[in-house]
């Protein structure tokens, strides 16, 4: 395939992905809007008003970046895992595998689809947060960079999950038992300074800590971790995950016999 | 002439140590209508799966129009259109979207993909259904949708894995006509089927595969020439005796008015009629018991 044909193939995969999640928007775009509004109301407005300041900001301002990232992580992951596993399950993935589309284009198409849903949800949640709190961006390039890298990373994780999943239970196990707990323990609702030393050190093993704090720094200018280290770790994890996804596609593991 | 498909020493050993292919070799010439036959588990689907790139081969070489798949599989894939046995499209997608999207995977710009989708959906009688979800189509329509999808990039080689399985007779005949037209226009077609009548009526060349090896590879005419006997079913005007015998022709009484008679290839039909006449048996009608290819197929595999 020449470059133009590859571009057409990439666009085709991306358009198919976007069309898919827009078609089922009550399952893809509406739930995070409702869930995050409830978080804003309950944790930000009702409980937050009694907590007072955290990290030099009102509790509502403090939790908003973490909640946006929570939505980005969950939706980027879910989009790719459900779409690619669905294609595996109904064998429509064969349409792509038999075609001349290079593996990196297949991966790029699915990941960009996941990123687009992550960003769409981020925009929705951010707009909703404006009803509850003022939002000013401390460092725009860093904020955008962290959102994009996070979205790509978790879309790649979703792809890996989809390749190894054998049934629909397998695609809900990781989000339910790994992603959600790590997000809650990643400092969305609290500053790590509140934790005893031991648990603070344990928390630093959680990659979501870097995602949440990196984004919080971009928005508010405060972070519990070194931001350049957080950005570097995200970039490293993304490169490794991309390499592993390409390995899975090139060897055809769980896709070709 | 370039071979549309050239396979040399193709082998496949699955991880459970099953030897599905034991070094098969075959050639399909450009413009051919070729049948790949074999019983279930013979290795047909594995061979087709390797050509589809859904199964990784263990050894051997495959060339499509001279392009070595080990060196440039994407280049080879551009020439291949694939109609698998099982439905493998998203049932929730609209018919037209399925075909247009497949065009996009082959790098066709959206306008051209839409044009081609319309062309083939019309030819296959699906244009009126273009806005329906695929799940709303009947089984025969789903099969035709897979053919339209396989043709959207106008491949030079079309591979169909049991394309008429589960399709009613009328629909099967119309699909045969469509495939004949396509072949006449220059598309090389490879077909696997369990309907031997289908292979006999459509295909010029044939390979029979069994237990991972090619047991026969020739023209259809050559294969049928090897068939030495033919069996006829005769409907008689009079009742025939239980112990009826026709000198020179082995026969079996099926019921009071029906006989099965075996005729050697070098015997004349007139000899059969003369022998029947000597026994005082008048024939109301006669027909072949089974299709000739089926008999040959059974004899080759037995």
pLDDT in tens, A201-254: 888 888 888 888 888 888 888 888 888 888 888 899 899 999 999 999 998 888
| pLDDT tens-digit readout, A18-43 | 999 999 999 999 999 999 999 888 87
Q: Does B105 touch chain A (CB under 8 A)?
A: yes
Nearest chain A Cα distance for residue B62, angstroms = 15
pLDDT at B298 over 80: no
CA atoms of A106 and A6, how far apart (whole Å)? 10
Establish if B49 touches chain A: CB-CB under 8 angstroms.
yes
pLDDT mean across residues, chain A: 89
Give A60-76 pLDDT, tens digit per residue. 888 888 889 889 999 99
End-to-end CA distance of chain A: 24
Integer CA distances (angstroms), B139 to B125, B134, B135, B143, B283, in order:
14, 10, 9, 6, 42
B56 touches chain A (CB under 8 A): yes
CA distance A201 to A11: 44
User: Residue B85: closest CA among chain A residues belongs to which residue?
Assistant: A91
C-beta atoms of A97 and B54 within 8 A: yes
Chain A residues close to B84, C-beta within 8 Å: 94
- For B101, nearest residue in chain A (alpha carbons): A12
Q: Do B101 and A12 touch (CB under 8 A)?
A: yes
> What pLDDT, on the 0 to 100 scale, is given for residue B247?
86
Most B CBs within 10 Å, among A3, A92, A97, to test the B interface: A92
CB contact under 8 A, A257 and B102: no
CB contact under 8 A, B82 and A98: yes
pLDDT in tens, A72-92: 999 999 999 999 999 999 889
- Number of Cβ within 10 Å of residue B170's Cβ equals 9
Smallest Cα–Cα separation from A211: which of A196, A229, A197? A229
pLDDT digits (tens, 9 = 90+) for B61-87: 999 999 999 999 989 999 999 999 888
B248 versus B189: the higher-pLDDT residue is B189
Q: Are the Cβ atoms of A91 and B109 closer than 8 angstroms?
A: no
Contact of A193 with chain B, judged by CB distance below 8 Å, is answered with: no
Q: What is the mean pLDDT of chain B?
A: 87
Indicate the class that CATH gives domain B229-301.
Answer: alpha beta
- Chain A residues whose CB is inside 8 A of the B86 CB are 91
* Residue A243 touches chain B, beta carbons under 8 Å: no
Token pair of A106 as six digits: 């297949």
Q: What is the three-class DSSP state of B291?
A: coil
Nearest by CB: A101 against B82, B89, B105 = B105
pLDDT over threshold 70, residue B293: no
Helical H segments across chain A, by residue range: 3-23, 25-28, 30-39, 48-51, 59-89, 93-97, 103-129, 140-164, 170-174, 180-184, 197-203, 207-220, 227-251
Q: Does B64 touch chain A (CB under 8 A)?
A: no
The predicted structure's pLDDT at residue B292: 62
Res. A141: pLDDT tops 70: yes
Beta-carbon-side half-sphere exposure of residue B80 (alpha carbons within 13 Å): 31
Count of beta carbons in the 10 Å neighbourhood of residue A160: 17
Domain positions in chain B: 229-301
pLDDT-derived band of residue A136, with 50, 70 and 90 as boundaries?
confident
Alpha-carbon gap: B142 to the closest alpha carbon of chain A (Å): 13
User: Is the CB of A257 less than 8 angstroms away from the CB of B56?
Assistant: yes
Q: Which chain A positions have a beta carbon within 8 Å of B133's beta carbon?
A: none
Band of residue A111 on the pLDDT scale cut at 50, 70, 90: very high
CB-based contact A231:A142 (threshold 8 Å): yes
Q: What is the least distance, in Å, from the CA of A62 to any CA of chain B?
A: 42
**Closest in A92, A97, A99 to B90, CB measured:** A92
Q: Identify the CA nearest to A128 among candidates A18, A31, A13.
A: A31
The answer to whether A99 contacts B88, with C-beta atoms less than 8 Å apart, is no
Work out the minimum CA distance from A242 to partner chain B, whole angstroms.
Answer: 22
Q: Is A252 on the interface with B (CB under 8 A)?
A: yes
What is the per-residue DSSP string for A119-158?
A: HHHHHHHHHHHTTTS----S-HHHHHHHHHHHHHHHHHHH
Q: How far apart are CA B232 and CA B261, in angstroms?
A: 5
- Picking from B90, B91, B106, the nearest residue to A100 by CB comes out as B106
Chain A contact probe: residue of B12, B104, B114, B153 with most A CBs at under 10 A:
B104
Out of A228-232, B209-213, B222-226, least confident range? B222-226
Number of continuous H segments (helices) and E segments (strands) in chain B: 10, 14
pLDDT of B43 > 90? The answer is no
Backbone dihedral angles phi then psi of residue A19, each to the nearest 5 degrees: -60, -40
Is pLDDT at B187 greater than 80 in this prediction? yes
Asked if B90 lies within 8 A of A90 by C-beta distance, the reply is yes
Angle at B280 between CA B277 and CA B285, to 5 degrees: 65
Closest CA to A163 of A251, A58, A37: A251
Of A6, A15, A95, the CB nearest to B88: A95
What local confidence, expressed as pLDDT, does residue B16 receive?
85
Q: What is the pLDDT of residue B296?
A: 65
Burial class (CB in 10 A: 0-12, 13-18, 19+), B270: exposed
* 3-class DSSP state of A173: helix
Could you say which of A92, A101, A257 has the minimum Cβ distance to residue B54?
Answer: A257
Instruction: Look at residue A256 in the predicted model and tell me its pLDDT.
Output: 81
DSSP, res A188: S
B91 contact A CB<8A: yes
B109 in contact with A at a CB cutoff of 8 Å? yes
Max intra-chain CA distance, chain A? 61
A4 touches chain B (CB under 8 A): yes
Beta bridge partner(s), residue A58 = A53
């Amino acid at each position: 395939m020449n470059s133009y044909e590859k571009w057409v193939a990439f666009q085709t995969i991306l358009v198919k992905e976007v069309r898919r999640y827009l078609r089922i928007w009550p399952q893809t775009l509406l739930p995070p809007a409702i869930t995050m509004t409830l978080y804003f109301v309950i944790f930000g407005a009702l409980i937050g008003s009694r907590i007072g300041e955290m990290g030099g900001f009102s509790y509502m301002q403090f939790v908003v970046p973490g909640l946006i990232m929570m939505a980005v992580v969950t939706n980027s992951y879910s989009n790719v895992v459900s779409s690619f596993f669905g294609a595996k399950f109904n064998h429509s993935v064969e349409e792509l595998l038999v075609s001349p589309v290079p593996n990196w284009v297949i991966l790029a198409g699915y990941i960009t689809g996941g990123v687009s849903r992550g960003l769409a949800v981020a925009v929705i949640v951010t707009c909703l947060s404006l009803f509850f709190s003022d939002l000013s961006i401390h460092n725009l390039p860093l904020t955008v960079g962290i959102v994009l890298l996070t979205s790509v990373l978790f879309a790649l994780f979703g792809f890996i999950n989809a390749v190894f999943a054998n049934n629909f239970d397998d695609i809900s196990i990781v989000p339910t038992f790994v992603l959600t707990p790590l997000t809650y323990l990643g400092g969305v609702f609290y500053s790590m300074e509140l934790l005893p030393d031991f648990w603070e050190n344990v928390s630093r093993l959680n990659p979501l800590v870097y995602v949440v704090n990196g984004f919080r720094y971009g928005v508010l200018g405060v972070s519990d971790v070194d931001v350049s280290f957080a950005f570097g770790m995200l970039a490293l994890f993304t490169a490794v995950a991309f390499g592993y996804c390409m390995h899975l596609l090139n060897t055809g593991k769980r896709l070709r016999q | 002439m370039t071979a549309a498909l050239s396979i040399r020493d193709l082998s496949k050993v699955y991880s459970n140590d099953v030897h599905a292919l034991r070094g098969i070799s075959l050639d399909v010439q450009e413009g051919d209508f070729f049948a790949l036959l074999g019983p279930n588990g013979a290795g047909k689907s594995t061979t087709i799966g390797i050509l589809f790139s859904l199964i990784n081969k263990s050894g051997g070489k495959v060339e499509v129009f001279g392009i070595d798949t080990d060196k440039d599989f994407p280049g080879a894939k551009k020439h291949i259109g694939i109609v698998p046995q099982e439905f493998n499209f998203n049932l929730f997608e609209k018919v037209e979207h399925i075909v247009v999207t497949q065009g996009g995977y082959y790098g066709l710009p959206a306008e051209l993909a839409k044009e081609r989708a319309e062309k083939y959906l019309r030819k296959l009688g699906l244009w009126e259904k273009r806005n329906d979800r695929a799940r709303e189509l009947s089984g025969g329509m789903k099969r035709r949708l897979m053919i339209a999808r396989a043709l959207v990039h106008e491949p030079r080689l079309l591979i169909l894995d049991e394309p008429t399985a589960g399709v009613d007779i009328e629909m099967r005949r119309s699909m045969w006509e469509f495939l004949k037209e396509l072949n006449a226009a220059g598309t090389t077609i490879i077909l696997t089927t369990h309907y031997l009548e289908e292979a006999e009526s459509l295909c010029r060349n044939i390979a029979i595969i069994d237990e991972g090896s090619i047991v026969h590879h020739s023209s259809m005419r050559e294969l049928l020439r090897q068939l030495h006997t033919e069996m006829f079913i005769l409907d008689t005007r009079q009742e025939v005796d239980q112990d009826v015998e026709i000198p020179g022709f082995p026969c079996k009484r099926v019921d009071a008015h029906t006989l099965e008679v075996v005729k050697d290839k070098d015997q004349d039909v007139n000899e059969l009629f003369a022998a029947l006449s000597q026994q005082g048996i008048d024939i109301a009608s006669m027909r072949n018991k089974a299709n000739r290819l089926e008999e040959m197929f059974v004899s080759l595999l037995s």
